Structure 1
């Protein structure tokens, strides 16, 4: 049984780490509603529309929505298929293929972005929407395959065998037997994929120079380079760019936390 002293010490440590984690966030939030800048622009909640207009975040936010939506949907569906195959079937060459997927988790973007740029340029894909989304689909597919394989392997074999005895094929087993109870695992994969894709900076920066293809993080970086008269509007811009990730997490947090806990228990 945990003593009162140990419980108090645990809460003190957690409070200390929470303070370290939340202090930068609180500082940005307070700065985003700060007084007008040196040019008299903004002030309080007016900082957000001012930052939106001066930073021209509208097009970049729409680009990020399109990129994130495409990557999440395509990588999510493909991850379901590959995870289902590796987790429940005897795939020829799985001993070689699955480590290749894992390689995508181990190699950082900085290592592959330059040769990837020249490969995409050979096919005439640089400075296009596809140059931004396809590399991120491949990266997200590596994680999604690993994540969903772990989920499918944890399902009782008897459940799948019973479904086969009832005449269900592989397609029906996937969508009607395994996917419904796997909502927390799928939501966790979706949230993480969306977060990584939304925050990705290097791939859009290298692959596309057209201002029309700037994502939200790129828009914030260019806004930071052009706007130097104060910090309040920059903080407001940072809050605007981060808001969609926070909203998605808050909306799906129950399933996300459940999926993470189930993954931890399985491990």
Structure 2
């Protein structure tokens, strides 16, 4: 029996198309502005008669994108794997093992979810200063790992709490230790949740702006999004070059999401079905 009428399907499609157009409009506007001749002031959404694709090359060189790309990759490599491993182990302990004090620890994590980054920037600045880590990539990596933990552990706990305990009991009967149970049984089952968490942490780390500009003065040691502040200050009057640089900074995150969107959506669907 068809529970959705033809008019409802048509309305839904029209709504999705309109939503997609509204979402893409700012990017199309930035692209059209980035292709205008240098020295002009882009007005409205007008496609240039002679697109200046060389503006992207100029922006890449002016912003030293090669160094920024390397710095962002180093920061992502320092944050994401460590955060995912710790969150997976903590989520397994809180969601499946039922460790003593787990409810209290989980309540603290939920409290951490309500804490915005802006509220801890000042304490982090003085802490990084006392540790001698200001103006280093560690000043971004270490705080981000800690700040991501509440959400990351919550995400992984939500998966492990739905795994049937019969699987663990069968593994125990076969002589598996807790460590073997975790790596050989639970982690393979958690791959969709781990993959989606990895994508989220990558996007958040790559686009991290606030901590990068507060804790690191050297633009070449920031994330690409953080370096956008220095780029804007230097080329703020050249709107064409600024739009081209902004698109270059956004491109890696869009590519990553488009490549791994299936895994991300799969994990969200599995989580909703299990919940």
TM-score, reference length from structure 1: 0.92
* Match status 1:230 vs 2:238: yes
| Structure 2 match to 1:202 | 210
Structure 1: gaps spanning 5 or more residues? none
Q: Distance in 1 between matches of 2:156 and 2:173?
A: 24
Q: Distance in 1 between matches of 2:13 and 2:22?
A: 14
| Displacement of 1:79 | 0.7
| Displacement of 1:243 | 1.6
SS across alignment from 1:2:
coil
Q: Distance in 2 between matches of 1:263 and 1:6?
A: 26
Counterparts of residues 9-20 of structure 1 (less than 5 Å): 9-20=11-22
Decide whether the 8 Å contact of 2:219 with 2:226 is kept in 1.
no
Choose the corresponding residue for 2:128, options 115, 120, 129.
120
| Displacement of 1:229 | 4.6
| Structure 2 match to 1:94 | 102
Q: Distance in 2 between matches of 1:145 and 1:257?
A: 19
| Structure 2 match to 1:180 | 188
Decide whether the 8 Å contact of 1:71 with 1:136 is kept in 2.
yes
Structure 2: gaps spanning 5 or more residues? 41-49
| Structure 2 match to 1:25 | 27
Q: Distance in 1 between matches of 2:153 and 2:269?
A: 19
Aligned residues: 264
| Structure 1 match to 2:43 | none
Q: Distance in 2 between matches of 1:181 and 1:89?
A: 16
Choose the corresponding residue for 1:46, options 41, 51, 54.
54
Decide whether the 8 Å contact of 1:48 with 1:237 is kept in 2.
yes
| Displacement of 1:207 | 1.1
Choose the corresponding residue for 1:67, options 72, 75, 80.
75
Decide whether the 8 Å contact of 1:31 with 1:235 is kept in 2.
yes
TM-align CA RMSD: 1.8
TM-score, reference length from structure 2: 0.90
Decide whether the 8 Å contact of 2:91 with 2:160 is kept in 1.
yes
| Structure 1 match to 2:47 | none
Query: For 1:229-254, what per-residue CA distance to the aligned partner results, in whole angstroms no more than 9, with x for missing partners?
Result: 53222222112111211222222222
SS across alignment from 1:154:
coil
| Structure 1 match to 2:223 | 215
Change (3 A) 1:175 1:92: same
| Displacement of 1:162 | 0.6
Query: For 1:192-228, what per-residue CA distance to the aligned partner results, in whole angstroms no more than 9, with x for missing partners?
Result: 0011111111111111113442221122222122114
Q: Distance in 2 between matches of 1:70 and 1:198?
A: 12
| Displacement of 1:43 | 5.2
| Structure 2 match to 1:37 | 38
| Structure 2 match to 1:133 | 141
| Structure 2 match to 1:3 | 5
